[in-house]
Amino acid sequence: MRFGILFLVAAAFINADIERPLIGTIRDLAGDLRPVYGVAGAFVLGDVITEDAESAKSASNRESARAEAEGTLEGDEVVIRRTGVRLRAPAGVSDVETLGKGWLLLRSPSRLYAVRTDAGREEIYALPEADK
Amino acid sequence: MKRLASLIFAAASCCLAAGQLQLFQAPQNGTEQLVTGSWELPSVQTGDSVSTRFRIRNTGDAAVSLTALRVAGTGFSMTGQPSLPHIVAPGTNVDFTIIFRAPDSGSYSANLLVNSTGILLRASGVPAATVHWNGTALTSDTSIDLGRLERGSETVSRFELRNGGRETVGVNSVSVEGVGFSLTAPSPAPVVLKPGESATFDLRLRPLTSGILTGKLIVDRREFRLTATATEPQMPRPAVILDSGTLRSGQQGRLSIRLASPSKANVKGRIRLDLRPYGDVKDNDGAARFITGGRSVDFEVKEGDSIIRFGADGELIYQTGTTAGTIVFTVEAGGFTEQASLTVAPEAAMIDRGTAARSGSTIDVRVSGYDNTRTVSEVAFTFYTKTGQALSGMPIRVAVARDFASWWTSSTLGGMYSLKASFPVTGDAAQVTAVEVQLTNTSGTTKTERLSF
């Protein structure tokens, strides 16, 4: 059975937005909260986000909960839970957190890394430093 | 053999001019001593010199004109005297220096004339070996310039102790002071030289730092100033080595900077990343950069390096960004400017992630990625039913060139975008379960996989 579906095309694009692609938020090496924009292989750290205690606490809780579901560090390997794929972690990595949907964050004393967790596209990327 | 000058001098009195001018010996850091009649200068070794400062003071209450001031005698000279005639006001001084250089061992004298009064000056030359370098006899006031050489290199200069006199002389000690200066062998002293005999020794200079170097060669009590200029060695030519000459947008690459040979220099340098977009696209690509340092990274070349190290790595990671064009890497160090470049080809708009969700009777579609040509002109949406059939009237084509052009103008992220489109649905929205999104730019089209919701 055919059914008619009318799409308000003109209206649809009145509701269209083009914006920066946001991957997630991180605490950079200096401890500042920043957004991470970009696509795989092309990342940009945004300006520091001014936070209040409540938003910081809820963000922390979210991150902790999702980190359990996304990936873990086993020795020198990052294990992506959803796909079981193992990737060799860069030297010095000691912690894994959630970065955003489909992304993990690896933390070493001198550098941060983003790990893509989408099936078939698992890869580790270096995150750029924030501009001074 | 003693040698005496036969000079006649005027009788000295306590005052040199009608009760007003007096002569003193005025040491640099000592007490003035009144000079009456004669003065004994310190002994000096043959070939060397000694300087003694004298002072004329007007102790009266009227000005005196100084009309004559000169010294005459073998080995004696004067410096620092005023031009004559010179008016000496009451209570003021006129200083001058007498230099005695002993041409040979023996006793010497000279007449120092101040206006009409003469003072007998005496001095002695003590037998000693002369010091020679480059065929020249050195005196304590000559500076030995060993020239220019690179830091870390070495030069050896030969010196000679020579006895040109008629008596046997001894040299008790020869030593060198100054960073980088040394004798190549144990000191030749103590040594005894008969008339006509000589002894040689070599002085090594190996600069440990660049710049002006100073030192001293000390032969018994005589000191000879050593100088040299050490330059920083030339750094070997650097080269930028890319892990690939062609990368796509949205990729991270690695480069290293290698030197033609291990460096002998400590040098600071910089590597820069410049993006040259194709066509008239503006460089607004904040993602085209080094992982550390943005568009430029400073580095240091240490002596012995043949690869520049960046932190713990020997390589530098960079991002190609999301703009088609040429990325040029320029390294500047040690006077060299070297470049390497890579090409980022234009491509069809890239879709990195697509999602769709139903919210009541609205379907929200979000697509993010990049268009490295900045020419995306159309987005097409094809909606599907749960049976996998495309709805009639599909695809919905939307002209987006103007919207994207406005976005590129304000963005600082190169060709990146995140597009959200909302579609209100009339009818049973639950029947619509998937969508495909296609973008078109001048390099082609790209489509998402079927996004279910």
Higher-scoring residue by pLDDT: A63, B325? B325
Strand-pairing partners, residue B453, are: none
In Å, how far from its chain's centre is CA B265? 11
Chain B contacts of A127, Cβ < 8 Å? 291
Measured at the alpha carbon of residue B48, what is the angle toward residues B45 and B51, in degrees to the nearest 5?
Answer: 105
Chain B contacts of A13, Cβ < 8 Å? 398, 400, 403, 421
Chain B contacts of A123, Cβ < 8 Å? none
Chain B contacts of A4, Cβ < 8 Å? 426-427
Q: How many CB pairs under 8 A join A and B?
A: 135
Residue A38: Cβ-neighbour burial (10 angstroms; 0-12, 13-18, 19+): buried
Spatial distance between the Cα atoms of B326 and B278, rounded to a whole number of angstroms: 8
- Chain B interface includes A30 (CB < 8 A): no
Give the count of beta carbons closer than 10 Å to the beta carbon of residue B21.
Answer: 20
Token reading at B198 = 């000589």
Q: Determine contact, residues B122/B40, Cβ cutoff 8 Å.
A: yes
Q: What's the mean pLDDT in B345-357?
A: 95
In Å, how far from its chain's centre is CA A96? 11
Q: Determine the residue among B290, B353, B383 to mutate to test chain A binding: the one whose Cβ has the most chain A Cβ atoms within 10 Å.
A: B353
Closest by Cβ to A9, choosing from B321, B398, B411: B398
Spatial distance between the Cα atoms of A115 and B352, rounded to a whole number of angstroms: 14
Chain A contacts of B250, Cβ < 8 Å? 39-42
Q: Determine contact, residues A70/A62, Cβ cutoff 8 Å.
A: no
Q: What's the mean pLDDT in A5-17?
A: 50
Q: What's the mean pLDDT in B14-25?
A: 70
Chain B contacts of A29, Cβ < 8 Å? none
Q: Residue A62: its pLDDT value, please?
A: 54
Residue B251 Cα distances to A5, A101, A130, B417, angstroms: 41, 20, 19, 16
Q: Residue B430: its pLDDT value, please?
A: 83
E strands in A28-122: 33-39, 42-45, 71-74, 77-80, 86-88, 95-100, 103-107, 112-116
Question: Across the beta sheet with A71-74, what order do the strands follow?
Answer: A71-74, A77-80, A86-88
- Binning pLDDT at 50, 70 and 90, where does residue A1 land? very low
Q: Contact B422/A12, CB-based, under 8 Å?
A: yes
Spatial distance between the Cα atoms of A94 and B335, rounded to a whole number of angstroms: 41
Measured at the alpha carbon of residue B160, what is the angle toward residues B154 and B166, in degrees to the nearest 5?
Answer: 175
**Over chain B, what is the mean pLDDT?**
91
What is the 3-state secondary structure of chain B?
A: CCCCCCCCCCCCCCCCCCCCEEEEECCCCCCCEECCCEEECCCEECCCEEEEEEEEEECCCCCEEECCEEEECCCEEEECCCCCCEEECCCCEEEEEEEEECCCCEEEEEEEEECCEEEEEEEEEECCCEEEECCEEECCCCEEEEEEEECCCCEEEEEEEECCCCCCEEECCEEEECCCEEECCCCCCCEEECCCCEEEEEEEECCCCCEEEEEEEEECCEEEEEEEEEECCCCCCEEEEECCCECCCCCEEEEEEEECCCCCCCEEEEEEEEEEECCCCCCCECCCEECCCECEEEEEECCCCCECCECCECCEEEECCCCCEEEEEEEEECCEEEEEEEEECCCCCEEEEEEEEEECCEEEEEEEEECCCCCCCEEEEEEEECCCCECCCCCEEEECHHHHHHHHHHCCECCEEEEEEEEEEECCHHHEEEEEEEEEECCEEEECCCEEC
- Binning pLDDT at 50, 70 and 90, where does residue A64 land? low
| pLDDT single digits (tens) B98-132 | 999 988 889 999 999 999 999 999 999 988 899 99
Chain A contacts of B393, Cβ < 8 Å? 7
Euclidean distance between the first and the last CA atom of chain B, given in angstroms as a whole number? 121
Please give the ipTM for the structure prediction: 0.87
Spatial distance between the Cα atoms of B372 and B219, rounded to a whole number of angstroms: 77
- Binning pLDDT at 50, 70 and 90, where does residue A3 land? very low
Closest by Cβ to B432, choosing from A5, A13, A39: A5
Note the helical H segments in A16-112: 53-70
Q: Contact A17/B420, CB-based, under 8 Å?
A: yes
CA distance B207 to chain A (A): 38
Q: Determine contact, residues B363/B425, Cβ cutoff 8 Å.
A: yes
Q: What's the mean pLDDT in B366-381?
A: 96
Q: Is the model's pLDDT at B328 over the cut of 90? A: yes
Q: Residue A50: its pLDDT value, please?
A: 85
Q: Is the model's pLDDT at B2 over the cut of 50? A: no
Q: Is the model's pLDDT at A54 over the cut of 70? A: no
Q: Contact A21/B417, CB-based, under 8 Å?
A: yes
- Chain B interface includes A69 (CB < 8 A): no
Q: Is the model's pLDDT at A8 over the cut of 50? A: no
> At B250, which amino acid appears?
G
The pTM of this model reads 0.68
Q: Residue B426: its pLDDT value, please?
A: 81
Q: Contact B292/A129, CB-based, under 8 Å?
A: yes
Q: Is the model's pLDDT at B352 over the cut of 90? A: yes
Q: Contact A21/B416, CB-based, under 8 Å?
A: yes
Higher-scoring residue by pLDDT: B342, A8? B342
| pLDDT single digits (tens) B395-411 | 999 999 999 999 999 99
Residue B436 Cα distances to B349, B360, B399, angstroms: 15, 20, 17
Give the count of beta carbons closer than 10 Å to the beta carbon of residue A16.
Answer: 16
Q: What's the mean pLDDT in A60-76?
A: 69
Chain A contacts of B424, Cβ < 8 Å? 7-8, 11-12
Token reading at B155 = 């030069």
Spatial distance between the Cα atoms of B166 and B102, rounded to a whole number of angstroms: 15
Q: Is the model's pLDDT at A43 over the cut of 70? A: yes
Task: State yes or no: cis peptide before B190, omega within 30 of 0.
Answer: yes
Q: Residue A105: its pLDDT value, please?
A: 95
Q: Contact B416/A40, CB-based, under 8 Å?
A: no
Give the count of beta carbons closer than 10 Å to the beta carbon of residue B415.
Answer: 33
**B399, closest residue in chain A (CA to CA):** A13
Quote the percentage of chain B above a pLDDT of 70.
95
Note the helical H segments in chain A: 9-14, 53-70
Closest by Cβ to A126, choosing from B291, B370, B425: B291
- Binning pLDDT at 50, 70 and 90, where does residue B17 land? very low
Q: Contact B423/A7, CB-based, under 8 Å?
A: yes
Q: Is the model's pLDDT at B149 over the cut of 70? A: yes
Token reading at B300 = 């240091």
Q: Determine contact, residues B159/B132, Cβ cutoff 8 Å.
A: yes
Higher-scoring residue by pLDDT: B244, B355? B355
Least confident of B9-13, B286-290, B330-334, B369-373: B9-13
Token reading at B370 = 């990049």
Question: Do the bridges between strand B93-101 and strand B76-79 make them parallel or antiparallel, or are there none, so unpaired?
Answer: antiparallel
